[in-house]
Amino acid sequence: MCLMASALSSSAQNALSFTRIDRNPGSSAMAGAGAASVSSGWYSAFGQAARLGFQQDKVDGGVGVQLWEPDNDVDKSTNLSAGAAVKLGRFSVALGGAYQMGVSGPQDSFTPSDRLLSLGAAYNIADAVSVGLNARYAAQGLTSEVSVDGYSFDLTVVGRITPALSAAVGVGNIGNKVSGSNAYFGQPAYACAGLAWVLAPASVHRCELLLDGEYNFDGTLALTVGAEYAYNKTFYARAGYRIAGEKAPIPSHLGVGLGLRYSFLRLEASYLTASPILGNTVNLGVAFTL
């Protein structure tokens, strides 16, 4: 049996592709859009850390679970994640961990698994620009005799052009060559840019429109559009679509989802569809703020 990360990358040149999985129910509901959004919370520990520089809450943390293709007895897997972010003046830091496990083959007692530990840090400059860095360690057990691991980094910048318009640029998954099967493989590195436009930011009815572009270093391209509607900072409805090249690490798909915030708690859910690889995947999360 292949763990879901193997299906994520149809390019034989990439290793540890599971590091590109969006574990955030909020952004995954918008098909991963949100490089320039400043409301990602602790999930920025896993990537796009510059968004932490505009975090409003002093502490943001939570847990999440991803049910990958739960109806597929061959490729289904469960992905657990947890983490927290802390704001210390102009400096913000977040730490997150993830563990995912697939299913064993009919004659194999070994259960493949992926492990990820990621750190994100950002510094806010004059409340206008935030510079962020992610550092991560990833390990993947493929069989009882084969495992791979590696390190990678992201560097991102988010700037506020106006109070309602933000832009982002960055590079991600820049890491070491991974050894496996008597060969060396690169990690799924990429460059990205994004825009976030907030309509009626001070209104009871708030809408954020997102546009992300991505160039993967394997030569594939992707474009993602997303939108979030918020009512009175309590109820959230989200949707997005990603268009990607055939061999892109994350394929084309549709995301939809809902969120509910009450006092210091957030409940979020997303559903991914319109993809033979990501179809019927569910993301659930519980978070708190202080």
- Integer Cα distance of 242 and 67 in angstroms: 20
Q: Which residues pair with 196 in a beta bridge?
A: 166, 210
Segments in the chain forming alpha helices (H) = 4-8, 25-28
Q: Which domains does the chain have, with CATH numbers?
A: 4-289 (2.40.160.60)
CA–CA separation, 115 vs 137, rounded Å? 8
* CA 34 – CA 54 distance, rounded (Å): 14
Strand partners, 170: 156, 192
Q: Which amino acid is at 187?
A: Q
Task: Count CB atoms within 10 A of the CB of residue 104.
Answer: 12
What does the pLDDT profile of the chain (290 residues) look like in tens digits?
A: 344 444 454 444 688 999 999 999 999 999 999 999 987 789 999 999 999 999 989 999 999 999 988 877 767 889 999 999 999 999 999 999 999 987 555 555 677 889 999 999 999 999 999 999 999 999 998 777 788 999 999 999 999 999 999 999 999 999 999 976 677 889 999 999 999 999 987 789 999 999 999 999 999 999 999 999 999 999 999 999 999 998 899 999 999 999 999 999 999 999 999 998 888 999 999 999 99
Q: Please measure the distance between the N-terminal and C-terminal CA atoms of the chain and give it in whole angstroms.
A: 42
- Residue written as tokens 């990833």? 138
Residues 6+ apart with CB under 8 A from 155: 131, 132, 133, 170, 171, 172, 174
Residue with tokens 């949707």: 239
Give the predicted TM-score (pTM) of the model.
0.92
- Per the document, the length of the chain is 290
